[in-house]
Amino acid sequence: MSLFDKTELRLTGVYLLRNKLSLAGGAIVAAYLALTVVVTLTGKFLLPYDPYVQNFAQTLLPPNSAHFFGTDDLGRDIFSRVIAGAPIEAQIAFVVVLISLAFGGSLGAFAGYLGGMAEELLMRITDVFLSFPALVLAMAVAIAIGPGLTNSMMALLVVWWPWYARIARGEALAIKNSQYMEAAHAAGLRDVQIVVRHVLPNILMPLLVYATLDISNVILTGSILSFIGLGAQPPQPEWGRMVFDGQDYLSGAWWMSVLPALAIFVVVLAFSLFGDGLRDAFDPKLRRR
């Protein structure tokens, strides 16, 4: 019993390698995650400038050799702030996706497997959550519990888990109706054994693939939340917030807002490309072609 079959994994790898775009995406993702780890471990030690220190002699400088991304209205080096902000986005994405995966996923899996009232109830509840546009519900929750990084993650969680519940339930249902489940019953296995041997391994794979693809959505929505002031609060170098602070200076100092926005774009795109490739690679129907 294993999650990954070697041949399967090899084919997946071959496909991913051949798909240059998702390979590029994967490379950027890897670089970004490495950066996150380094920054988290070393703090501002390796950065060219202190991201928090203001320097009123050097405000609104355009990008140059000393300041790759220029400086902001308070004279802070934007490049250093963008780098220092990298771990914040990663933190939001991983916390939200992993908790949604664990909570929503297990709820959905059990509901799908058990069926009946439990399933019906969960479906109706997720119906309600999914009726809201994700960003709007997150906004409402965030404003109610107050702005801030932790609170914006809580707000995103409220919005995010139902998707995972839905997907897990769908997978569980498909597995429940499969013949190998019937065979497992016929073999006289206990329910616990069935869940451990068959249900979990078969549900986890599609959920993990979806989660990879979903990271980009979380980062995007999270950055909008912080753009409208609900995320990390100044002076923390959060990318969405930096865009917001810079937009008043757009006509004179475009780099203040456009460059952090581009950073978000690049990371989101990279996760998307990588996730897309991963999904195609794990879907034998698409791969065979």
Partner 1 sequence: MSEPLLSIENVRLEFNTEQGTVHALRGVDLSVGKNEVVGLVGESGCGKTVLGLAVLGLNPMPPARLLDGSQILFQGRNLAELTPHELALVRGTGISMIFQEPATSLNPVFTIGDQISESIRLRIQRQRNEDKSTPSSSEIDEQVYEALRLVRIADPERIARRYPHELSGGMKQRAMIAMAMAAKPSLLIADEPTTALDVTIQAQILRLMRDLMNEVKTSILFITHDLGVIAEIADRVAVMYAGHIVEEAPVGQLFAEPLHPYTQGLLASLPRLSDLDREIKQLPGSVPDAINPPSGCSFHPRCEFAREECRTESPKLKELKAGHKVACYLY
Partner 2 sequence: MGLLKFCLKRIISIIPVLIGVTLLTFLISRVVVPNPARAWAGLKASQATVQAIAIRYHLHDPLYLQYYYYLRDLLSGDWGTSPVNSQPVLDNLTAFFPATLELAIVAIIIAAALGIPLGVYAAVHQDKGIDHAARLFSLGTYCAPPFLMALLMQLIFSYWFRILPSGGRFSPLYPLPHKITGLLILDSILSGNLQALGIALIHISLPALSLALLTFGLITRLTRSSMLEVLRQDYVRTARAKGLVERVVIFKHALRNGLTSIVTVMALLFAFMLSGAIVIEYIFNWPGIGRYAVQSILSLDLPAVMGTTLVFTLIIISVNLLADIAYAVLDPRIRLD
Partner 3 sequence: MSSQTLLSVKNLVKHYRVGTVSFLGRRFGHKQKMVHSLDGVSFNVARDETLGVVGESGCGKTTLARTMLLLTPPTSGSITFEDKEITKLPKQELRKLRSRMQIVFQDPVSSLDPRMRVRDIVAEPLVGVGEKDRAQIREKVRAMLERVGLSQDALNRFPHQFSGGQRQRIGIARALVCEPQFLVLDEPTSALDASIQAQVLNLLRRLERDLRLSSVFISHNINVVCYMSDRIAVMYAGEIVEMGPTREILGKSSHPYTTTLFASVPKVDPSHRRADTEIIGEQPSPVNPPSGCRFHPRCPFVMEKCKSVRPEQTVVNSNHWAACHLLTK
Among 57, 117, 187, 192, binds partner 3 (CB under 8 A): 187
Q: Which is nearer to partner 3, 1 or 144 (CB)?
A: 1
Quick one: which of 109, 233, 166, 68 has its CA closest to 244? Answer: 233
Tell me the two tokens of residue 133: 């546009």
31 binding partner (options partner 3, partner 1, partner 2, none; Cβ < 5 to 8 Å by kind): none
* Residue carrying structure tokens 């206990």: 190
141 binding partner (options partner 1, partner 2, partner 3, none; Cβ < 5 to 8 Å by kind): partner 2
> How many of the other CB atoms lie within 10 Å of CB of 266?
12
Q: Specify whether the CB–CB gap between 211 and 195 falls below 8 A.
A: no
Q: Specify whether the CB–CB gap between 73 and 67 falls below 8 A.
A: no
Tell me the two tokens of residue 241: 């917030």
Distance CA(100)–CA(162), nearest Å, equals 8
Q: Which is nearer to partner 2, 165 or 199 (CB)?
A: 165
Among 75, 148, 170, 201, binds partner 3 (CB under 8 A): 201
Tell me the two tokens of residue 220: 């995007």
186 binds partner 3 (CB under 8 A): yes
Distance CA(205)–CA(5), nearest Å, equals 12
86 binding partner (options partner 1, partner 2, partner 3, none; Cβ < 5 to 8 Å by kind): none
140 binds partner 2 (CB under 8 A): yes
Among 3, 14, 34, 196, binds partner 1 (CB under 8 A): 14
Q: At what angle are helices 116-131 and 78-114 packed, to 10 degrees?
A: 150
Binding mask 176-215 for partner 2 (x = CB under 8 A): ----------------------------------------
* Residue carrying structure tokens 């995406």: 25
Which residues are near partner 2 by CB under 8 A?
21, 124-125, 127-129, 131-137, 139-141, 143-146, 216, 220-221, 223-224, 227-230, 240, 243-244, 247, 250-251, 254, 257-258, 261-262, 264-265, 268-269, 272-273, 276
